[in-house]
């Protein structure tokens, strides 16, 4: 999964339709990873990767399917 500013931003409408996604925490983590790299607790980051990333990936896949359905599936 790639999180980057070069990617289109997620619209507020999508965020509003998916309140189960922890949007503020995602932004906060990104800011910490980018700006506080010398102060990172690598154990805590690794724990988040193992615990939280799998569910976030599922949520993002569902959002992507909503926003841009796979044309190969339409028949």
Q: What is the pLDDT of residues 10-47, one digit of tens each?
A: 889 989 999 999 999 999 988 988 998 788 899 999 99
The model's pTM is 0.67
SS3 assignment, position 53: helix
Q: In Å, how far are 17, 29, 43, 52, 53 from 48, measured between CA atoms? A: 24, 10, 9, 5, 7
Query: Catalytic site residues?
Result: 30, 35
pLDDT at site 7: 55
H helices present in 36-74, as ranges: 42-67
SS3 assignment, position 69: coil
Q: Does 6 score more than 50 pLDDT?
A: no
Comparing CA positions, the residue from 22, 24, 29, 21 lying closest to residue 3 is 29
């Amino acid at each position: 999964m790639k999180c980057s500013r070069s990617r289109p931003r997620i619209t507020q409408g999508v965020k509003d339709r998916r309140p189960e996604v922890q949007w503020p925490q995602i932004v906060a983590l990104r800011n910490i990873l980018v700006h506080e790299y010398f102060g990172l607790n690598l154990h805590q980051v690794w724990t988040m990767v193992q615990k939280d990333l799998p569910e976030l990936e599922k949520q993002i896949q569902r959002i992507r399917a909503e926003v841009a359905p796979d044309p190969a599936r339409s028949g």
